[in-house]
Amino acid sequence: MLAKRIIPCLDIKDGRTVKGVNFENLRDAGDPVELARIYANEGADELVFLDISATDEKRKTLVALVERIAAEINIPFTVGGGITTVDDVYALLQSGADKVSINSAAVRNPLLISEIADKFGSQCLVLAIDAKQTPTGWKVFLNGGKIETPLDLYEWAKEGASRGAGEILFTSMNHDGTKNGFANEALRQLSETVNIPIIASGGAGTMPHFLDTFTIGKADAALAASIFHFGEISIGELKTYLLQHEISIRL
């Protein structure tokens, strides 16, 4: 069995790490370079950097910041935000990213998934999906959760996988920042819909929440932000807890 992964997420706005609830009411969470260094030293399996306002502000990801973070860490590093072309991907990989995450641009131009996968390999492409449970099912949202689309979460995930995405990063907007647990039913259905790894995002508040998303939700990795940023749970403690509950994890 492949080891489950614990992934801190750095949501970046104006060069600072921020965190909100349900994608709103953002508050400062610290310097991204310093946080990245801390998480790498604490035993994080990977790190995700999302420039959350790049798409909405119609600009490219902060390449200089990516270079600074990459220089400080020795774990796999995924970067997303404002990526719209193969050239953008090349620039970020050259700056030190190991993988890229695409979201809104992939919905607007699904061919981008295939183009990136064909040029750089599926292993470096994460399809990020922000979705909200609505009266008509789980719908995909764009531009940091600001624009609703008619796309169904599961159908879009299936299309993304078929076009060459190597992983799905699913963030439940209903659960984001609430600390009430991950969207485990949706995660389980996702894992049964596609045959690529699923990263759970949105809702982590306690160590049992991680256990539940690996057992009930069948997630391959779990991403969290505020509980790590504000020192509520340490990565070392979390991994020890998961090992004690017979979850395969790297110490």
Q: Which residues are catalytic?
A: 11, 130
Burial of 116 (0-12, 13-18, 19+ CB in 10 A): buried
CA quadruple 196, 52, 24, 8: dihedral positive or negative? positive
Question: Which helix (H) or strand (E) is 124 found in, with range?
Answer: none
Please report, as a single letter, which amino acid is at residue 179: K
C-alpha separations of 240 from 35, 69, 233, 234, 248 in Å: 21, 27, 12, 10, 11
Whole-angstrom distance, CA of residue 34 vs CA of residue 242: 26
131 sits in the region (left: phi over 0; alpha: psi -120 to 50; else beta) called: beta
Place of tokens 């801390």: 38
Calculate the CA 250 to chain-centre distance.
Answer: 19
